[in-house]
Amino acid sequence: TGVGIDEALLAAAENLELFACAFAGTGHLPMDELDARGVTVTNAGGIHAPGIAEQAIGQMLTFARNLHEGVRRKQNREWRHFKARELTDSTVTVVGLGSIGRAVTQRLQGFDVDTIGVRYTPEKGGPTDEVIGFDEEPFHDALARTDYLVVACPLTDLTRGLIDADAIATLPPHAVVVNTARGPILDTDAVVTALQTEGLRGVALDVTDPEPLPEDHVLWTLENALITPHTGGHTPKHWDRLADILADNYEALDSGGDLENVVLAP
């Protein structure tokens, strides 16, 4: 029956209490219909967070240690020193403190860095040293102090184009941007211009706009752009984690306990 649930199937499912979606996103589901029928919907949010966070930190360390220059020299069989930096004492700003943003912050614990978290509701606090909202003044103040910017928020009307030419101009030119979220949160043209003019040290893009990135796109040609084909969430533990959520929720349903990952609670 595929990944969704159509109306005929829904009408036939008279005793349906829970629809456990295997994705984080539920945009493909008839949420109003499910709501009207009193069906709870849970999602798979969070199961990709450890893998995505590891990838983001691997990409930051690649730029910190210039490991991509190491790859280039290896291909030339060239044993010759090059300059590297340190992540130590950097300021890492994490946009979005959901499961991915929290997983990134957790993994930065031992690195002696300062962290700034950006979230819709800064009054909730968070695991970062500072937590701010999306208002332009605090956000740009944070960008001006940022060495590594990790984008880990959902794509919404507010975040579409959030990292635009102005935001990039506010970042120090040695800053690195890592996008783990959705391509359109970055203004691709502004990113390309900054990469071409030393306006940014580098970007790591696991997601792009457009996506897939067309073969003739200039981003492929830039040495200071790391590109992976939306593989951040690929992990062999995906299905195990999904099964754990489902098994726990099945038990909770039976015992009347709290469900995990609820996105619709009629």
CB closer to its own copies, 18 vs 67: 67
Active site residue ranges: 182, 211, 230
209 in Cβ contact with 174 (< 8 Å): no
Determine, following the binding rule CB under 8 A, whether residue 28 of this chain makes contact with its own copies.
no
Q: Whole-number minimum distance, CB 82 to its own copies, in Å?
A: 6
Residue tagged 């960008």 (tokens) = 143
* Chosen residue from 55, 99, 146, 188 binding its own copies by CB under 8 A: 55
Residue list 106-145, contact with its own copies (CB under 8 A): 106-112
For residue 257, how many other CB atoms are within 10 A of its CB? Answer: 11
22 in Cβ contact with 44 (< 8 Å): yes
* Chosen residue from 37, 65, 160, 174 binding its own copies by CB under 8 A: 65
Site size for its own copies, by CB under 8 A?
Answer: 54
CB under 8 Å to 25, separation ≥6 — which residues? 43
Determine, following the binding rule CB under 8 A, whether residue 58 of this chain makes contact with its own copies.
yes
* Chosen residue from 4, 28, 82, 239 binding its own copies by CB under 8 A: 82
CB closer to its own copies, 17 vs 86: 86
In the chain, which ranges are continuous DSSP H helix?
7-12, 31-36, 49-65, 67-75, 99-108, 136-144, 165-170, 188-196, 238-255
Q: In what order do the strands lie in the sheet with 262-264?
A: 18-20, 40-42, 262-264
Q: Which residues bind its own copies (CB under 8 A)?
A: 50-51, 54-55, 57-59, 61-62, 64-68, 70-71, 73-74, 77-89, 106-112, 211-213, 215, 217, 220, 226-231, 234-237
